[in-house]
C-alpha cells in the first residue's frame, strides 16, 4: 500500500461539482480500509495561463493506493477524460478537471510521463496550503523541511478558502 497525494483543480463549468466528482471517482480507487483525507477548497488565480482565464478551485486529497504509480497515473487520466477534460495544444489551458500526482509514498519517480514528488510542489501555494491542512508534518523526498515549514516560507499571499468541508 502506498500513501498518495493528489492535487485537484478546476476552472471551467461547475467547479465544485467537478472536484466532487473527481474525489468520488478517486475514492473508488483508494484502499477502503484507510480514510480519504480531503483538504478545504481554495479559490486561486491562474498561474502560467492566458490573461483573462477564470480562477481555479484547488484542493488536495490523500489516500492509500495498492497498485503502481504508473497505474495510478493511468487511472487518474481516465477519470479526467471521463469528467470531460480535453487535452488540446500546449500549455495551461482552462479545464474542467486537473488531477496531479503530488507524491507516491516516499518514492522518487522520474519518467517522461510522471515525476514524484511533483517538481513544483514546493513553489505552489495552491498546493502547499491545502496539503498543510491534511499533512503538515509530511517531509517529501529531497526535502529537509515539512510541508508546514515550506508553507511558512512561501511568500505568496494566503489563499481564499471557499469550502472547508465538502
How many domains would you assign to the chain?
1
Specify the pLDDT at position 90: 57
pLDDT at 52 over 80: no
pLDDT at 6 over 90: yes
Q: State the average pLDDT for the chain.
A: 92
Name the residue with higher pLDDT: 114 or 48. 114
> 158: which DSSP letter?
P
Q: How far apart are CA 114 and CA 103, in angstroms?
A: 10
Rounded mean pLDDT of 54-76?
A: 96
Of the candidates 46, 58, 48, 131, the residue with the CA atom closest to the CA atom of residue 98? 58
pLDDT at 47 over 80: no
pLDDT at 30 over 80: yes
Q: Domain of residue 10: give its range.
A: 2-163
Rounded mean pLDDT of 60-81?
A: 96
Answer whether 110's CB lies under 8 Å from 117's CB: no
DSSP letters, 34-88, are S--EEPPEEEE--SSS-TTPPPEEEEEEEEEE-S-HHHHHHHHHHHHHHTT----
Rounded mean pLDDT of 19-27?
A: 97
Specify the pLDDT at position 45: 85
Tens digit of each residue's pLDDT (9 = 90 or more) over 124-138: 999 999 999 999 999
Specify the pLDDT at position 91: 60
Q: How far apart are CA 134 and CA 38, in angstroms?
A: 7
CATH number of the domain enclosing 116: 3.30.70.560
- pTM of the prediction? 0.93
pLDDT band at 31 (very low <50, low <70, confident <90, very high): confident
Tens digit of each residue's pLDDT (9 = 90 or more) over 110-123: 999 999 999 999 99
Amino acid at each position: 500500500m502506498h500513501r498518495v497525494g493528489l492535487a485537484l483543480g478546476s476552472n471551467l463549468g461547475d467547479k465544485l461539482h467537478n472536484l466532487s466528482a473527481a474525489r468520488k471517482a478517486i475514492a473508488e480507487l483508494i484502499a477502503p480500509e484507510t480514510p480519504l483525507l480531503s483538504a478545504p477548497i481554495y479559490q486561486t488565480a491562474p498561474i502560467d495561463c492566458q490573461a483573462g482565464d477564470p480562477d481555479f478551485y484547488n484542493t488536495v486529497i490523500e489516500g492509500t493506493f495498492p497498485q503502481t504509480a504508473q497505474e495510478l497515473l493511468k487511472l487518474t487520466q481516465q477519470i479526467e477524460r471521463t469528467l470531460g477534460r480535453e487535452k488540446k495544444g500546449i500549455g495551461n489551458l482552462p479545464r474542467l478537471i486537473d488531477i496531479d500526482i503530488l507524491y507516491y509514498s516516499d518514492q522518487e519517480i522520474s519518467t517522461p510521463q510522471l515525476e514524484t514528488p511533483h517538481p513544483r510542489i514546493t513553489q505552489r501555494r495552491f498546493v502547499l496550503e491545502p496539503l498543510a491542512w491534511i499533512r503538515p508534518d509530511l517531509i517529501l523526498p529531497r526535502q529537509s523541511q515539512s510541508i508546514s515549514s515550506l508553507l511558512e516560507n512561501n511568500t505568496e499571499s494566503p489563499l481564499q478558502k471557499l469550502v472547508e468541508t465538502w
